[in-house]
Amino acid sequence: MPSNKSVSDAPIVQFTNCRILRDHQLQREDLWVREGKILNPEKLFFDEKGSADVQLDCKDSIIAPGFIDVQINGGFGVDFSLATDDFRSGIDLVSQKILSHGVTSFCPTLVTSPPSVYHQVLPQISVRNGGAHGAGILGAHLEGPFISKEKKGAHPEHCLRTFEAGAFQDLLATYGSLNCVQIVTLAPEMRRSSEVIQELTKRGICVSLGHSVANLSQAEEAVQHGATFITHLFNAMLPFHHRDPGIVGLLTSDKIPAGRRVFYGMISDGIHTNPAALRIAHRAHPKGLVLVTDAIAGMGLAPGRHTLGQQVVEIDGLNTYIAGTKTLSGSVATMDTCVRHFQEATGCSVETALEAASLHPAQLLGIEHKKGTLNYDSDADFLMLNDSLYVQATYIAGEEVWRQDVSGM
């Protein structure tokens, strides 16, 4: 073929001396990046007769896709469920700070709130690419208010709603807009939820089942109508029972439509789920496990009192409770901590632990062709990690956006 160096004059960066997570395995290969995308080196050599402009020695690091957090309520003093005048600067702060946790894209999550909060906050959330300014925003995750009173967890009861005569119109009126919404968590046992699930799915919005007292057949019906996710498995749902395993039973149900996979979120912080429960879920359905932080405004802050939407919460170590109670209310764990705890608790491979925070959430959202892998032509959002899975550097679109400061270590 004729030389085709003119395909692009953008610099080509070659990351050498690394182990790349590709096709579910760590492979000793180089990673080639140009214009924010991962290059196929064979095409570069043979079609373009090209070569690297810059070579970077990764010093035997692991290179893995950037983490994707589909459930994060805030952090560093910022609460996504509070309508403030400087909401945008708050979301900017969180997106910047979570780069050090290896998160390259996320779904800002709003807990059950009054309609006025959704109407003020949602127009201020826009889908955007990540970069030096912070992690990319994939769209909002609306957790509630269409959830069960019995399993409300840390959600304020006075804000809970049901689907009335209008069903989907009730939901639209509550949220005001679905323009930037990526996920909606609802309780599938609610009357008229099936038509709401169908309407949301039709619009490309992922429906998640959670904060619910649904039995297994109600959960299966929701999946048949399009639901694909379970919000923080085991938390805020009926406990597993051998005669009716409830939502948990979806992990091994034989009534999932052909070609469909049910994913489930897990808060792997050592607090929300006993390690044995984490192991049971992982062994039952490893390809569906999605690590989430469910982090609240107190993540990254000192112990004490903080907010979660309309509630006051208290942080005591890694425990977060609604003030004055022992009701768990989100987490203060970071995504990289969750990945390490998951690997330690389950004894799974490094590859499996990393994919639960990258490939699986991308598959859940249907964006695995561009995020969550290091396949050719996908976005060059990736991490350098050491063998203990501590993040050393974070890259978005091939540019370094965070690096561990080793000067003081």
| pLDDT, tens digit (0-9, with 9 covering 90-100), for 277-313 | 999 999 999 999 999 999 999 999 989 999 898 989 9
- Full residue range of the structural domain in which residue 22 is found: 13-64+373-403
Residue 151 lies in a domain: yes
Q: What is the pLDDT of residue 234?
A: 95
Asked whether residue 94 carries a pLDDT value surpassing 90, the answer given is: yes
Task: Determine whether the annotation assigns residue 331 to a binding site.
Answer: no
Residues 292 and 218 in one domain: yes
Residues 273 and 135 in one domain: yes
Q: What is the pLDDT of residue 7?
A: 62
The active-site residue out of 269, 294, 336, 379 is 294
Task: Determine whether the annotation assigns residue 119 to a binding site.
Answer: no
Q: Of 160, 330, 308, nearest to 236 (Cα)?
A: 330
In three-state secondary structure terms, 259 is: coil
What's the one-letter identity of residue 13? V
Task: Determine whether the annotation assigns residue 154 to a binding site.
Answer: yes
Residues 59 and 198 in one domain: no
Report field, pTM of the whole predicted structure over 0.85:
yes
Average pLDDT value for residue range 85-102:
97
Report the 10 Å Cβ neighbour count for 408: 4
Report percent pLDDT > 90 for the chain.
89
Residues 52 and 151 in one domain: no
Q: What sections of 211-349 are H helices per DSSP?
A: 216-224, 275-284, 335-346
Q: What is the pLDDT of residue 1?
A: 37
Residues 109 and 139 in one domain: yes
Q: What is the pLDDT of residue 408?
A: 46
Burial label for 317, CB within 10 Å (0-12, 13-18, 19+), is exposed
**294 annotated active-site:** yes
Residues 19 and 126 in one domain: no
Residue 163 lies in a domain: yes
Asked whether residue 223 carries a pLDDT value surpassing 90, the answer given is: yes
pLDDT digits (tens, 9 = 90+) for 358-397: 999 999 999 999 999 999 999 999 999 999 999 999 999 9
Residues 78 and 154 in one domain: yes
Residue 286 lies in a domain: yes
pLDDT digits (tens, 9 = 90+) for 118-142: 999 999 999 999 999 999 999 999 9
The pLDDT mean for the chain works out to 95
pLDDT digits (tens, 9 = 90+) for 15-34: 999 999 999 999 999 999 99
Residue 44 lies in a domain: yes
Residues 49 and 90 in one domain: no
The Cα 327–Cα 155 span in angstroms is 10
Task: Determine whether the annotation assigns residue 225 to a binding site.
Answer: no
Report the 10 Å Cβ neighbour count for 179: 13
For 44-58, 60-74, 225-239, 327-341, which range has the lowest pLDDT when averaged over its residues? Answer: 44-58
Q: What is the pLDDT of residue 6?
A: 45
> The domain that contains 378 carries what CATH number?
2.30.40.10
> The domain that contains 237 carries what CATH number?
3.20.20.140
Residue 2 lies in a domain: no
Residues 40 and 138 in one domain: no
Residue positions counted in the chain: 409
Task: Determine whether the annotation assigns residue 235 to a binding site.
Answer: yes
pLDDT digits (tens, 9 = 90+) for 20-71: 999 999 999 999 999 999 999 998 888 888 889 999 999 999 999 999 999 9
pLDDT digits (tens, 9 = 90+) for 137-175: 999 999 999 999 999 999 999 999 999 888 999 999 999
Q: What is the pLDDT of residue 3?
A: 41
Peptide bond into 145 cis (omega under 30): yes
Residue 1 lies in a domain: no
Average pLDDT value for residue range 245-268:
97
Residue 4 lies in a domain: no
Residues 75 and 203 in one domain: yes
Asked whether residue 75 carries a pLDDT value surpassing 70, the answer given is: yes
Task: Determine whether the annotation assigns residue 328 to a binding site.
Answer: yes
Residue 52 lies in a domain: yes
SS3 content of the chain, % helix, strand, coil (to 5): 25, 30, 45
Number of H helices, E strands in the chain: 10, 22
Residues 41 and 114 in one domain: no
Q: What is the pLDDT of residue 407?
A: 59
Residues 117 and 221 in one domain: yes
Asked whether residue 352 carries a pLDDT value surpassing 50, the answer given is: yes
Residue 52 φ then ψ, to 5°: -75, 140
For 3-12, 251-260, 264-273, 390-399, which range has the lowest pLDDT when averaged over its residues? Answer: 3-12
Please, which pLDDT band fits residue 73 given cuts at 50, 70 and 90? very high
Q: How many domains does the structure of the chain reveal?
A: 2
